[in-house]
Amino acid sequence: MSHIVVFAVAVIPWLRQQEALAHWPQWRGPLATGEAPHADPPVHWSEEQNVRWKVALPGRGHSSPVVWDERIFVTIAVPFDEPLEPRMSGVDGAHDNLPVTSRHEFRVLAIDRSNGEIAWDTSVKRALPHEGGHVTASLASASPITDGERVFAFFGSYGLYALDTKGERIWQQDFGRMQTKHGHGEGASPALYGDTLIVNWDHEGPSFLVALDARTGEERWRVGRDEVTSWSTPLIVEHGGHAQVVVSGSKRVRAYALDSGRVLWECGGLSRNIVASPLHADGVVYVGSSYEKQAMLAIRLAGARGDLTTSKNLAWMRRRSTPYVPSPLLYRGGLYFLHHYQNTLSRVVAETGTEPTGPFRLRGIGNVYASPVAAAGRIYITDLAGRTLVLGDGDEPEILAVNRLDDGFSASAALAGSEIFLRGERFLYCLAESDD
């Protein structure tokens, strides 16, 4: 486990180093891998068992909750005023989209970890959405991120906001209107390293990657990207004493120097629909995608320069059972991922890409949009119907429990301490072993 601690300190120095490992401050947790190294959440729960508290949320969103100390931060979009005449966004190729029926208020909530009470609720924007999004999407799908002193909430077309821990606005930025593929909606979360905040703006118009001063919101650099819509969150890694921003794209996976935005390396091979976020450990970046073709790549960072598509830096490649919506999980040397968004789990050796056993059909759950998480030797996978499968970590994962709640879940779980936080369509749950 020692290499994991070193990775956390190197990659996320802004998270107060060791203290950060006890929290869930960003999308995919303190290591950006889906693991909570010091958490020990419950194995069993239901509406009648191990629910410490359950709070109704005043709006909808698929962003994951983030946790620091005694606060949980979530973003929501709340319709208001009288309903409007339904209208579609009119995007070519649109299918299964929701009509725009009302104006929305975009809000950031801080919730007391001990009892579920709303500590503050800050409205940052009121607007009429220009896209309704896919039926499986939401208007608050990008997860917030916190360094314990500030909370950064990204609503895409409706702005980026920095708040203090009392809910007061520090600064805001507006990048314009995003036109997503088929009007399916927005979802990539920001990334943070030190006092640099990164936002990826891949869409059907001029795409770019932008670095901001997290203290003031001022732009440090902006680089154009020859890419179309993606929903993948950037990953910031440190290698050779320098930080780089890795962004998955439909044409290329690219790494940019954090201090300048200069492209360091790039690699082709993913599909045209990019949702899953990249991961990193031990000098290797892992990226995956699915849809019209399946692909997963392991890219060595040592000596990575220029086009790596056919180079020796491509450690291994996989062309079957790769992830689409849920991002992979990197845990104890294993790379876990679901096929597309279905209930088939693969576990490969991260170093080699080999799959000694599996894939495994996950009985008891169905379609999955939430990304798997892990702690205390257990894997947690939550499906759209409210069921969470708990697996023992091993070459052949053992089913420990199938838990059911009365809500639907697209947001990924957050793990901290003895608790697991599940954000549903209607409620936020805090689940922990009962003291009884």
Residue 421: inside a domain, yes or no?
Answer: no
Residue 385: inside a domain, yes or no?
Answer: no
Residue 407: inside a domain, yes or no?
Answer: no
pLDDT of the residue at 358? 83
Residue 318: inside a domain, yes or no?
Answer: no
**Distance set, CA 119 to CA 115, 149, 181, 337 (Å):** 10, 16, 37, 36
**Strand order of the sheet with strand 284-289?**
279-281, 284-289, 295-300, 314-318
Residue 329: inside a domain, yes or no?
Answer: no
CA atoms within 13 A on the CB side of 342: 11
Q: Domain holding 94: CATH number?
A: 2.40.10.480
- The structural domain count of the chain equals 1
Residue 6 CB partners (closer than 8 Å, separation 6+)? none
Q: Is 14 helix (H, G, I), strand (E, B) or coil?
A: helix
Q: Residues 430, 150, 163, 183: what is their CA dihedral angle, to the nearest 10 degrees? A: -70
- Residue-number span of the structural domain to which 169 is assigned: 64-188
- Listed in sequence order, the DSSP H helices in 27-121 are none
pLDDT of the residue at 435? 76
pLDDT of the residue at 195? 94
Residue 49: inside a domain, yes or no?
Answer: no
Residue 176: inside a domain, yes or no?
Answer: yes
* Residuewise pLDDT in 10s, the chain (436 residues): 333 333 333 344 444 556 778 899 999 999 999 999 999 999 999 999 999 999 999 999 999 999 999 999 999 999 998 877 777 665 666 678 888 889 999 999 999 999 999 999 999 999 999 999 999 899 999 999 999 999 999 999 999 999 999 999 999 999 999 999 988 999 999 999 999 999 999 999 999 999 999 999 999 999 999 999 999 999 999 999 999 999 999 999 999 999 999 999 999 999 999 999 999 999 999 999 998 899 999 999 999 999 999 999 999 999 999 999 999 999 999 999 999 999 999 999 999 999 998 899 999 999 999 999 999 999 999 999 999 999 999 888 899 999 999 999 999 999 999 999 999 999 999 999 997 6
Does a cis peptide bond (omega within 30 degrees of 0) precede residue 359?
A: yes
Residue 428: inside a domain, yes or no?
Answer: no
**What 3 state SS string does 292-358 have?**
CCCEEEEEECCCCCEECCCCCCEEEEECCCCECCCCCEEECCEEEEECECCCEEEEEECCCCCCCCC
